[in-house]
Amino acid sequence: MIQLPATFPADQLDDFCVQVFRHYGVPGPDAKLAAGVLNLADVRGIDSHGVARLKTYVDMFKLGRINPKPNIRIIRDKKSVATVDGDNGLGLVVGPAANAIAIAKAREFGSGWVSVCNTNHYGIASYYSLEALKHEMIGWSMTNSTKLVAPLWGAERMLGTNPISIAFPGLTNPPIVIDLATSAAAYGKIEIAKRKGDAVPKGWIIDQRGKMSTAPDDMIDGGALLPLGSDRERGGHKGYALSAMVDILTAVLSGANWGPFAPPFALRQEIPARSVGKGIGHFFGAMEIDGFMDPTAFKKRIDEWIAVFRNTKPANAAMPVLIPGDPEHQEESIRRKNGVPLMESVVRDLSIIAGETGIPFIGA
Amino acid sequence: MIQLPATFPADQLDDFCVQVFRHYGVPGPDAKLAAGVLNLADVRGIDSHGVARLKTYVDMFKLGRINPKPNIRIIRDKKSVATVDGDNGLGLVVGPAANAIAIAKAREFGSGWVSVCNTNHYGIASYYSLEALKHEMIGWSMTNSTKLVAPLWGAERMLGTNPISIAFPGLTNPPIVIDLATSAAAYGKIEIAKRKGDAVPKGWIIDQRGKMSTAPDDMIDGGALLPLGSDRERGGHKGYALSAMVDILTAVLSGANWGPFAPPFALRQEIPARSVGKGIGHFFGAMEIDGFMDPTAFKKRIDEWIAVFRNTKPANAAMPVLIPGDPEHQEESIRRKNGVPLMESVVRDLSIIAGETGIPFIGA
């Protein structure tokens, strides 16, 4: 057995994903788009949403649960707004297509807003908000997802981790990139704690009776994540409301499955007994900066905002105040140069895919 | 001295405010609008934002800090988006005018988005999102405000409590009304705890060195509120990012004062040494439901969403899961019938205003 390298060049991972998607029937340009979404997650250090997910997408293709050649179309629209049906295509293909519609509408009408049904996992929310920046726009992106989170005072999973992303361009600074799940913590962190045998902080999870817990198994075995804010005193009703907002804009408004009816993406997750629409939902927005303010003047103001907030008096001099997007930007500059580090389990998954498809994987 | 009634009919409070605003030079139709914003806060039980604030508005008029007859105008626009200059008018007048522009744009272009500078305190955020519902639209509203909140890891006030509101109409149910400050707790709660000599929950405040505290004085004497999520572990970076989003959409994009430079509204608050724009900022959005989905079909889906979430298995059978807007809706049905209860200190303020202006106040 050969020694596996610790890191992989981003381009080679990208190429591998393109070929795998093509192998499962995705047309070349769509395969490139889809791989690009995963790759951005990998280079920005959002490891849970990059090639680590490729195996799940492949599983779905093998089961015929994703349409590799969707007819993505506008089913209703009025100037700056539209609803798009993703025809059960890969979320990584439907997402970029629907987001491009929002951007085209923004070019014509000053802003564009697209709610999407009949789609599935679309990767990192910030891929889409960052796309808008290439067109001198402010970008918005949201998606609903499989249930994991309890509404405040609830004792069962009713909402996904439903992320919100918005990005604003700087002039000399990298953009401000907001990308947050509306839960107090990510599900991945509960799994990591379980593997390590650690307790999780109070405020992350409840057990199946709705009681706060610090034992990962209490959440995993029929409990739930808590919304951002955790409990009533610290604003758990606000995290619940934000998650509800995402659920409604992405899924109620588009005709997708909302709340507890959002279909799962991973095979191990339970399929809801009831369907209230088609697939899951996304929501994209783009606003042309020029419609509000001279774009250069706006970017200068963003640069000034960044400078002022970076100079906030810190609680601890060793931990200065960050700008949203800082950690990902820093990671991107390292990984574009040094490559993407992958966990052994991810390399193993990619090697299995290589074996099944005959597509050579550099580490295999 | 006569016995003061505990509650006051909403209409009489509204009339009093109309007359007071007119006394200070606000034209009749604007005075009616402004009073209506305060009145909605009073009937929905958001006591901090109703007639309790009238004295502060009056103080600002007496000091000549608000323009009673503003020339509110669009200074830049492109179809569905615009920037509005409020000409230093009362926020309660500028807000409804700018929101009406967003609604008119939505009627023409499917959606309308207006960023506003040169304005001040606009009342409750949900007044504006609820206005859009009268036009078969989904309404959005945000505002920045005087600094009270530290960014995560900061040890000083840099952001306002920067609320976000969005409202969705039901068919047979009252609307889902989301209206949340992006801080962990409201400043008013710190003041109440101080008066009572109580400690506040951990996660609400820091002292002037940036250390978490439970002593109200630590926040009041140069400390700060924490963002929603409180600390890094429980997602304080997310509350900070949401507050930053509001600050940028309302103030950076409009040409208003952002972050720590937002001018104060109450006289006791410090005036920032530096100005980076005009007044504070608001952001309004309206989206025509018909551009996405048949409005009746959408409202039926909202009704179903409400029914399903109300039936969430509760952690405690005596405390069922609420729908965002429930507490305010319940309060509204009580107060429209029984009147608005006012604290003695508020009645005293209104009586002083009555004495100064010669406008009769029912309780005086």
* Whole-angstrom distance, CA of residue B124 vs CA of residue B122: 7
Which amino acid would we find at residue B44? R
Contact B158/A at CB under 8 A:
yes
For residue B281, give every residue at least 6 positions away whose Cβ sits within 8 Å of its Cβ, in sequence order, or none.
Answer: B115, B116, B117, B119, B143, B144, B250, B251, B252, B253, B254, B255, B256, B257, B258
User: How far is B14 from chain A, CA to nearest CA, in Å?
Assistant: 30
Q: What is the pLDDT of residue A5?
A: 54
Predicted local distance difference test score (pLDDT) of residue B5 = 54
CB A21 within 8 A of CB A28: no
**Is residue B309 within 8 angstroms of chain A, CB to CB?**
yes
Q: What's the pLDDT score for residue A267?
A: 72
Percent of chain B surpassing pLDDT 70? 98
User: What's the pLDDT at B270?
Assistant: 77
* CA B150 vs CA A183, B215, B230, B237, B287: distances in Å: 21, 17, 10, 11, 33
Tell me the per-residue pLDDT of A124-170, one tens digit each, with 9 for 90 and over.
Answer: 999 999 999 999 999 999 999 999 999 999 999 999 999 999 999 99
Q: Does A271 touch chain B (CB under 8 A)?
A: no
Q: A interface mutation test: which of B74, B101, B111, B164 has the most A CBs within 10 A?
A: B111
> Distance between CA B53 and CA B47 in Å, rounded?
9
Strand, coil or helix: what is B57? helix
**How many CB atoms sit inside 10 A of residue B25's CB?**
13
B312 pLDDT higher than 70: yes
Say yes or no for a CB contact (<8 Å) between B324 and A109.
Answer: no
Q: How many helices and strands, by DSSP H and E, does chain A display?
A: 11, 12
Instruction: Give the gap in angstroms from C-alpha A9 to the nearest C-alpha of chain B.
Output: 30
Q: What is the residue type of B267?
A: L
What is the arithmetic mean of pLDDT over B210-229? 98
Torsion of CA A271, A274, A276, A282, to 10 degrees: -20
Q: pLDDT digit string (tens) for A253-312?
A: 999 999 999 999 877 777 888 999 999 999 999 999 999 999 999 999 999 999 999 999
What pLDDT does residue B267 have?
A: 72
pLDDT confidence tier of residue B269, bands split at 50, 70 and 90: confident
* The pLDDT of residue A271: 83
* Cβ–Cβ under 8 Å, residues A229 and B228: yes
CB-based contact, B171 to chain A, within 8 Å:
no
pLDDT digits (tens, 9 = 90+) for B41-78: 999 999 999 999 999 999 999 999 999 999 999 999 99
Q: What is the DSSP letter of B263?
A: P
Instruction: For residue A203, give the nearest of B178, B234, B314 by CB distance.
Output: B234
Is B238 in Cβ contact with A315 (below 8 Å)? no
For residue B33, what pLDDT is reported?
A: 98
pLDDT surpassing 60 at residue B1: no
Tell me the C-alpha to C-alpha distance, in Å, between residue A28 and each of A68, A71, B60, B68: 11, 15, 63, 62
Question: The tokens of A304 are what?
Answer: 């000034």
pLDDT over threshold 80, residue B18? yes
Does residue B4 have a pLDDT over 70? no
Instruction: Please choose, from the candidates A259, A51, A313, the residue with its C-alpha nearest in 3D space to the C-alpha of residue A146.
Output: A259
Look at B79 and A79 and tell me if their CB atoms are within 8 Å.
yes
DSSP, collapsed to helix, strand or coil, labels residue A91 as: helix
What is the C-alpha separation between B110 and B137, in angstroms, rounded? 9
B318 or A363, greater pLDDT: B318
Q: How far apart are CA B217 and CA A227, in angstroms?
A: 29
Please give the residue of chain A at the shortest CA–CA distance from B112: A111
State how far the Cα of A338 lies from the Cα of B17, in Å rounded to an integer: 65
Closest Cα of chain A to B297: distance in Å?
Answer: 9
Determine the straight-line distance between the first and last CA of chain B, rounded to whole angstroms: 9
Give the mean pLDDT of chain B: 96
Tens digit of pLDDT for each residue in A201-230?
999 999 999 999 999 999 999 999 999 999
Percent of chain B with pLDDT over 90: 95
* Chain A 12-71, residues with CB within 8 Å of chain B CB atoms: none
Calculate mean pLDDT across residues B82-96: 98
Query: How far from each other are the two terminal CA atoms of chain A, in whole angstroms?
Result: 9
Name chain A contacts of B192, Cβ cutoff 8 Å: none
Count the helices and strands in chain B (H runs, E runs): 11, 12
Probe site for chain A from B74, B77, B80 (most A CB atoms < 10 A): B80
pLDDT at A347: 94
In a 10 Å sphere around its CB, with 0-12 CB exposed, 13-18 middle and 19+ buried, how is residue A272 labelled? Answer: middle
pLDDT given for residue A314 in this prediction: 98
A81–B155 CB contact, under 8 Å: no
User: Which pLDDT tens digit goes with each residue over B280-297?
Assistant: 999 999 999 999 999 999
Closest chain A C-alpha to B52 CA, distance in angstroms: 24
Asked whether residue B89 carries a pLDDT value surpassing 70, the answer given is yes
Backbone torsions φ then ψ of B34, nearest 5 degrees: -60, -45
Distance from CA of B221 to the nearest CA of A (A): 16
Q: What is the pLDDT of residue A2?
A: 52
For chain B, say whether A314 makes contact (Cβ under 8 Å). Answer: yes
- Are A154 and B321 an interchain contact pair (Cβ–Cβ within 8 Å)? yes
Q: Are B200 and B216 in contact (CB under 8 A)?
A: yes
Q: What is the pLDDT of residue A363?
A: 58
The confidence score (pLDDT) of residue A4 equals 52
CA distance A311 to B68: 37
| Among the listed residues A68, A27, A42, A97, the one whose alpha carbon sits nearest the alpha carbon of residue A347 | A42
CA gap A42, A35 in Å, rounded: 11
Q: Which residue has the tokens 């949201």?
A: A142
A160 contact B CB<8A: no
Nearest to A229 among B176, B211, B229 (CB): B229
Q: B180-201 b/e with 16+ CB inside 10 Å = b?
A: bbbbbbbbebbeebeeeeeebb
CA–CA–CA angle A262, A268, A270 (5° rounding): 40
**Subunit contact B109:A79, Cβ cutoff 8 A:** yes
Interface size A-B, in CB pairs within 8 Å, comes to 279
Please tell me the distance in Å from A357's CA to the nearest CA on chain B.
Answer: 40
* Residue-level pLDDT at B3: 53
Instruction: Look at residue B271 in the predicted model and tell me its pLDDT.
Output: 83
One-letter identity of residue B244: A
Say which residues have a Cβ less than 8 Å from residue B106's Cβ, sequence separation at least 6: B80, B112, B132, B135, B137, B286, B287, B288
For residue A139, what are its two tokens?
Answer: 């970008």
Report which of B315, B256, B216, B329 is spatially closest to residue B94, judged by C-alpha positions.
B256
How high is the pLDDT of residue A273? 84
Which chain A residue has its CA at the smallest distance from B325's CA? A241
B148 close to B118: Cβ distance less than 8 angstroms: no
Residues 6+ apart with CB under 8 A from B34: B17, B21, B26, B90, B92, B93, B96
| Placement of tokens 């572990």 in the chain | B233
What pLDDT is attached to residue A3?
53
Q: Are B54 and B38 in contact, with CB atoms under 8 Å apart?
A: yes
Length of chain B: 364
Per-residue confidence band for B266, with pLDDT thresholds at 50, 70 and 90:
confident
pLDDT of A30-87, one tens digit each? 999 999 999 999 999 999 999 999 999 999 999 999 999 999 999 999 999 999 999 9
Q: Is the pLDDT of residue B194 over 70?
A: yes
**Mean pLDDT score, A175-197:** 95
